[in-house]
């Protein structure tokens, strides 16, 4: 594409799921050069065209990390011990603006406080949504908001099936499994949306919201899909209070998150137009859950489960 050859994109979280997806999507395009950012660049020398140190808790590292970049992708990690997402994101926005970045892409989530009228406290959603205004008011030539879904990968990671007291294998969650409320997706495909936004700033760089959604499902539908593929998973709805009091970090936050999903859905509003725009910008329809599960859910889940610890995060 003329005029945009080799624009440099600096990617926070490049060694992780979201940022890694962005690096992989940008690299083959030849339209962009990628500067992967990490707190420990020496460990990831081969990751991208450039790898540079950036520590969101040390704003002085950010200015040089963004210097010369046309675009920045930012994700913050709520679950990292001691992370203060608003502080980290504000520092990144300020540094990007000072470095003359043109297009800023922020990985946000819905504002649960506003959507639920204060009924549900879900800081890892609302905390991100509050940063949107800071991005908007920073005065970048272009800015875009991407919304990551409930990762399919959660079902093999933090929310993998567990052996249940009745001997079955499956999930015990504070969620009505009949309610279709989960906007889900293959997080590797977030990169296509971000790369598309950088490539098409006129269509997606004016504060558009771009959610990745590969499927919209209830937990019963998730389990039916997996069981049709040969698994035998169970589901038990547990009271929110019981789940919230479970002895692992983040239990109350996760319980509140599921209550919000059940009441309002993951995205919290009719997002069909936004999803359609995101797919258009990505240039593809995202993978649905059945296709992803067929490729990724191990047939022998038993050996897999034994390595898992109880749910820690979502």
Task: Give SS3 for 47.
Answer: coil
Q: Residue 280 and residue 27: Cα distance in Å, rounded?
A: 20
Report d(CA 213, CA 190) in Å as an integer: 9
**Using the rule CB under 6 A, which residue among 68, 80, 245, 276 binds ligand NAP?**
80
User: Min. distance of Cβ 112 from ligand NAP in angstroms?
Assistant: 12
Q: Which of 8, 9, 10, 19 binds ligand NAP (CB under 6 A)?
A: 19
Contact 202, 144 (CB under 8 A): no
Per CB under 6 A, 129 contacts ligand NAP: no
Q: Which of the stretches 11-19, 168-176, 277-285, 303-311 binds ligand NAP when contact is defined by CB under 6 A?
A: 11-19
Torsion angles phi and psi, residue 166, rounded to 5: -85, 5
Applying the rule CB under 6 A, the residues between 84 and 123 that interact with ligand NAP are 109
Site for ligand NAP contains 314 (CB under 6 A): yes
The smaller minimum CB distance to ligand NAP, of residues 39 and 232, is found at: 39
**Interaction between residue 148 and ligand NAP (CB under 6 A):** yes
The size of the interface with ligand NAP (CB under 6 A), counted in residues, is 28
The residues that bridge with 179 in the sheet, in sequence order, are none
Binds ligand NAP by CB under 6 A, chosen from 27, 76, 225, 279: 76
The reply on whether position 18 binds ligand NAP by CB under 6 A is: yes
What is the rounded (10 degree) CA torsion for 78, 81, 82, 83? -30
> Which among 152, 157, 123 is positioned nearest to 260, based on CA atoms?
123
Is residue 199 a contact point for ligand NAP (CB under 6 A)?
no
57 binds ligand NAP (CB under 6 A): yes
16 binds ligand NAP (CB under 6 A): yes
Rounded CA-CA distance 203/201 in Å is 5
* Cβ-Cβ contacts under 8 Å for 38 (sequence gap 6 or more): 14, 15, 44, 47, 51, 53, 54
Of positions 27, 38, 257, 288, contacts ligand NAP by CB under 6 A:
38
* Residue 314 Cβ vs ligand NAP, minimum distance, rounded to whole Å: 6
What CA–CA distance (Å, rounded) separates 58 from 298?
Answer: 40
Site for ligand NAP, residues 151 to 170, rule: CB under 6 A: 151, 154
- Please report how the helices 289-296 and 219-228 are oriented relative to each other, as an axis angle in degrees rounded to 10: 50
Point out the residue whose Cβ comes nearest to ligand NAP.
16
Told to check if 188 binds ligand NAP by CB under 6 A, we report no
Smallest gap from Cβ 133 to ligand NAP, in A, equals 18
Angle between helices 272-282 and 190-199 (to 10 degrees): 80
297 forms part of the interface with ligand NAP (CB under 6 A): no
Q: Where are the alpha helices (DSSP H) in 79-218?
A: 85-98, 112-115, 123-129, 131-137, 190-199, 201-204
Q: Which of 29, 49, 50, 78 binds ligand NAP (CB under 6 A)?
A: 78
Which positions touch ligand NAP (CB under 6 A)? 12-19, 38-40, 54-57, 75-80, 109, 124, 148, 150-151, 154, 314
């Amino acid at each position: 594409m003329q005029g945009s050859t080799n624009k440099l994109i600096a990617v926070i979280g490049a060694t992780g799921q979201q940022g890694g997806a962005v690096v992989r999507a940008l690299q083959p395009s030849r339209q962009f050069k990628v500067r992967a950012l990490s707190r420990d660049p020496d460990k990831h020398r081969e990751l991208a065209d450039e790898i540079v140190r950036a520590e969101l808790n040390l704003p002085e590292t950010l200015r040089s990390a963004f210097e010369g970049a046309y675009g920045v992708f930012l994700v913050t990690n709520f679950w990292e011990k001691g992370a203060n997402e608003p502080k980290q994101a504000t520092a990144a926005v300020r540094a990007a603006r000072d470095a003359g970045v043109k297009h800023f892409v922020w990985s946000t989530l819905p504002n649960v406080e506003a959507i639920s009228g204060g009924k549900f406290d879900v800081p890892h959603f609302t905390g991100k949504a509050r940063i949107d205004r800071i991005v908007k008011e920073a005065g970048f030539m272009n800015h875009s908001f991407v919304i990551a879904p409930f990762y399919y990968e959660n079902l093999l990671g933090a929310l993998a099936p567990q052996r249940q007291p009745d001997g079955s294998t499956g999930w015990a969650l504070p969620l009505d499994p009949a309610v279709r409320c989960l906007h889900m997706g293959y997080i590797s495909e977030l990169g296509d949306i971000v790369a598309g936004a950088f490539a098409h700033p006129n269509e997606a760089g004016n504060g558009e919201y771009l959610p990745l959604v590969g499927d919209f499902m209830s937990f019963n539908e998730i389990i039916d899909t997996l069981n049709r593929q040969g698994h035998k998973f169970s589901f038990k709805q547990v009271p929110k209070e019981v789940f919230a009091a479970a002895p692992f970090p983040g239990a109350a936050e996760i319980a509140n998150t599921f209550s919000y999903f059940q009441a309002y859905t993951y995205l919290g509003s009719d997002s069909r137009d936004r999803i359609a725009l995101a797919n258009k910008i990505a240039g593809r329809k995202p993978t649905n859950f059945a296709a992803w599960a067929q490729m990724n859910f191990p047939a022998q889940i038993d050996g897999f489960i034994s390595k898992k610890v109880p749910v820690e995060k979502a």
